[in-house]
Chain A
Amino acid sequence: MKEFEPKIIAFCCHYCALAAADVAGKMGLQYAPNIRIIRVLCTGKVEIPHLLKALESGADGVVVIGCKFGECYFREGNFRSAKKLERAQSLIQEAGLEPERLLFDFVPGPGAKKFADILNGMTEKVRSLGPNPSVN
């Protein structure tokens, strides 16, 4: 049987995570090919319905990567995002899904290594959880 390959959506902040993705590319750093990146101007704009819709539409996991706390370009967007993600985790848990399918993390702009680590870690985590039970 073919090994389960999770589909993971990564909402990436333009000012840090996307820059880190760029640096990762330039450094030739490899990360899991399971990731679909969606660029956002600030993670604060990733609303709870976006996270739930991603799972509904077939994603097995969703990761939101923003700036370090205190370093948000829009001051508090990452704090908002972390709180929203926490609420979304409890909402999907109520619906019978594992809260670990959603993750918030942060990288500094040039943090290519951390960026790759987050995505690889999330891919492994979701692989161990198995396919999204609401889709497959």
Chain B
Amino acid sequence: MIVGERKPFSEIMSMVEDFSKILIVGCGSCVTICMAGGEEEVTILGSQLRLAFQKNKKDVEVEEAMALRQCDDEYMNEPALIEKVKKADIVISMACGVGVQHANAFFNRIVQDKPIKVIPGLNTTFMGANLDVGIWEERCVGCGDCVLEKTGGICPITRCAKSLLNGPCGGSSNGKCEINKDTECAWHLIVERLEALGELDRIKPVEMYKDWRSSHDGGPRKIIREDMRI
């Protein structure tokens, strides 16, 4: 999932303090699961803003809403949501960076009579897995050319600090990476896993340099599935 973290309250406040009608829109997908931008977090931010504005005797309306998925038109086109957006001076999107941008484009396409200002309530941190309650760790950088079949299902691009394709390096010690004692050496894990699978021979051939053109390079990447287009 895409993992995010709420921006500090002071930063959010500095973005909205000059507006009098604020709408907070949560996202019901990844950021709900990682407890950063779902219904509960929208309620919390709403309460915090109202408490702060009321304390400073500022008459500001703070509304709350949810969209099931802010990165998809299909889940954004809800009349109740659009009505709230029309009434707002500023929209805080609690989605990931994808959701914020999509909400920005969508609301400005649907609402014609005024421009809608959409700002982020979260910092989008990474694509990761939920390791335990309250712990998430990065697992994929979206390089566009997956090598997991060669590395026992452990990604060296994401999890090795140097993104090495031929590891481990000399900084691996007792299974840990030299950058941090709490960071596992991805190549140590890869060797262990391939050994258990009886596939250690897989890492004998030297892997040539990676073709990074499939990664983030030359503008946004795009996929068009012609079989789904009419």
Contact = CB atoms under 8 A, between A and B. Distances in A.
A1 interface: no
Contacts of B56: 96
Give the bracket for the number of chain B residues in contact with chain A.
10 to 19
- What's the interface size class on A, roughly? 10 to 19
- Main secondary structure, interface of B, reads helix
Contacts of B51: 52, 55-56, 92, 95-97, 134
Nearest to B43: A49
Contacts of B166: none
Nearest to B10: A94
B17 to A, nearest CB: 12
Contacts of A52: 43-44, 47-48, 51
Contacts of A55: 47, 51
Contacts of A71: none
A103 interface: no
Contacts of B49: 95
B222 interface: no
A53 interface: yes
A94 B49 CA distance: 10
B54 A134 contact: yes
B213 interface: no
B55 A133 contact: yes
Contacts of B8: 94
Interface in B34-91: 40, 43-44, 47-52, 54-56
Interface in A39-98: 47-49, 52-53, 55-56, 91-92, 94-97
Given A48-B40, A52-B48, A53-B43, 7 more contacts: A52-B44, A52-B47, A91-B48, A95-B9, A95-B51, A95-B55, A96-B51
Query: Shortest 6 CB-CB distances between A and B: which pairs?
Result: A52-B47, A94-B9, A134-B54, A95-B52, A95-B51, A49-B43
